[in-house]
Amino acid sequence: MEIIVFTNGCFDIIHPGHIDLLRQARQLGTKLIVGLNSDSSVRKIKGSRRPFISENDRAEILKNLRWVDEVRIFDELTPEKLIAEIKPDVLVKGGDWKAKEIIGADLVKKNGGRVFSIPLKEGHSSSSIIEKIMQNREKSEEQNLSQSNQKNLIENSLKTHIELFQKILKEEKTNIETCAELIFKTLEKGNKILICGNGGSAADAQHIAAEFVGRYETDRKALSAIALTTDSSVLTAITNDFDFERVFARQIEALGREGDLLIAISTSGNSPNVISAIMTARQFGCRVLGLTGAKGKKLASLCDACILIPEARTARIQEAHITVAHIWCEIIDAKYTYL
């Protein structure tokens, strides 16, 4: 009897960790199918500099590995549609993904299949390889920037802002438009916008919610939004009964409905409570829009659409998120003007 195993990823720089994962995955069945992120989806998840190797070349490398039987390229940020089409008996991801964070796990289990999070081979990851390559150059740039900032902090800070927004204009314009269209369609159908973010991103969530439900530059009576982070007393009450990781997820369970949209904000892209909210929203049939920073590949890969700010510094990322939200409001206002 054929047992189909499925795993997915970008596989931009093949290393021993990948080989070990694929070997273990193949041993769980009789056929291993690898879902491979297309070039366009890699850019959306990991930023405009990636991938280093084209999708066709990455696919060719994987096909020639003894453990891989088939490679399927997909354009979406998540492999959910591909998993639904293949209907694998076994779903596998690396150990940096908890079982409850794995896209398609519910579908596979519903069909009687199994889901595994396989421990990664220690000391091997594409990100660590890239970081080593870039380390010396970045260290030199940081030293130069530090010396320059001491001479003129204000001027250099503003220049950094300008440079960041120029990069956003170049790299994220299409994604901003895509996200705005997703927001507009959600509101046009009468569904809700749910927003969550912890730490400094909680303030961003409040600000964005205020923009959506407020007047901004035009009267937006037809629009509605809910911020999941505005009442600290409610959050405290919930966390008394449920663990911190489930705080946003519990609110989505109470407020979310099929067709709603969750805007999930995490500068790191690794906030457990935000990730939990995303997975809960997906189970409820909500679409998910992500706001994260340059290292937020985990969050980005769980969303229907995502804005990946090309910056690692938290303050810069948060300020950019607010600016992007303002642009969304302007786009939505313009659309309603012409209805």
Given a cut of 80, whether residue 29 has pLDDT beyond it is: yes
Per-residue model confidence (pLDDT) at position 237: 54
| CA pair distance 204, 181, nearest whole angstrom | 20
- The residue ranking higher by pLDDT, 101 or 137, is 101
Q: Out of 111-125, 211-225, 279-293, pick the least confident.
A: 211-225
Q: Is the preceding omega at residue 16 within 30 degrees of 0, hence cis?
A: no
Given a cut of 80, whether residue 235 has pLDDT beyond it is: no
The mean pLDDT value of the chain amounts to 86
Tell me, yes or no, if the two domains 4-120 and 163-337 fold the same way: yes
pLDDT band with cut points at 50, 70 and 90 for residue 151:
low
Mean per-residue pLDDT, 305-332: 93
Tokens 């009789």 appear where?
A: 30
Given a cut of 60, whether residue 315 has pLDDT beyond it is: yes
Instruction: HSE, CB side, 13 Å, CA atoms: give it for residue 24.
Output: 16
Tokens 């569904």 appear where?
A: 191
Per-residue model confidence (pLDDT) at position 222: 46
pTM surpassing 0.85? Answer: no
pLDDT in tens, 10-22: 999 889 999 999 9
For helices 272-283 and 247-255, give the axis angle rounded to 10 degrees. 20
The DSSP letter of residue 222 is: T
- The residue ranking higher by pLDDT, 33 or 199, is 33
Q: What percent of the chain has pLDDT over 70?
A: 82
Per-residue model confidence (pLDDT) at position 254: 87
Per-residue model confidence (pLDDT) at position 210: 83
Q: What percent of the chain has pLDDT over 90?
A: 60
Please name every residue paired with 263 in a beta bridge, in sequence order, or none if there are none. Answer: 195, 289
Angle among Cα 85, 91, 95 to the nearest 5 degrees reads: 140
Per-residue model confidence (pLDDT) at position 150: 57
For the chain, what are the domain ranges?
4-120, 163-337
- The residue ranking higher by pLDDT, 211 or 78, is 78
pLDDT band with cut points at 50, 70 and 90 for residue 54:
very high
What is the fold of 4-120? Answer: Rossmann fold (3.40.50)
Per-residue model confidence (pLDDT) at position 120: 81
Given a cut of 50, whether residue 96 has pLDDT beyond it is: yes
Per-residue model confidence (pLDDT) at position 53: 94
Mean per-residue pLDDT, 218-247: 57
Structure tokens that stand for 31 in this block:
């056929």
Given a cut of 50, whether residue 318 has pLDDT beyond it is: yes
| CA pair distance 15, 22, nearest whole angstrom | 11
pLDDT band with cut points at 50, 70 and 90 for residue 328:
very high
Mean per-residue pLDDT, 265-272: 93
What is the fold of 163-337? Answer: Rossmann fold (3.40.50)
Per-residue model confidence (pLDDT) at position 251: 84
Per-residue model confidence (pLDDT) at position 216: 46
Residues 6+ apart with CB under 8 A from 105: 91, 99, 115
Residues 6+ apart with CB under 8 A from 80: 103, 104, 107
Per-residue model confidence (pLDDT) at position 200: 83
- The residue ranking higher by pLDDT, 136 or 41, is 41
| CA pair distance 292, 210, nearest whole angstrom | 20
Q: CB of 32 within 8 A of CB of 68?
A: yes
Q: Which of 224, 4, 161, 186 lies closest to 92, judged by CA?
A: 4
Please name every residue paired with 131 in a beta bridge, in sequence order, or none if there are none. Answer: none
pLDDT in tens, 169-221: 999 999 999 999 999 999 889 899 999 988 888 888 888 888 887 644 555 44
Given a cut of 90, whether residue 223 has pLDDT beyond it is: no
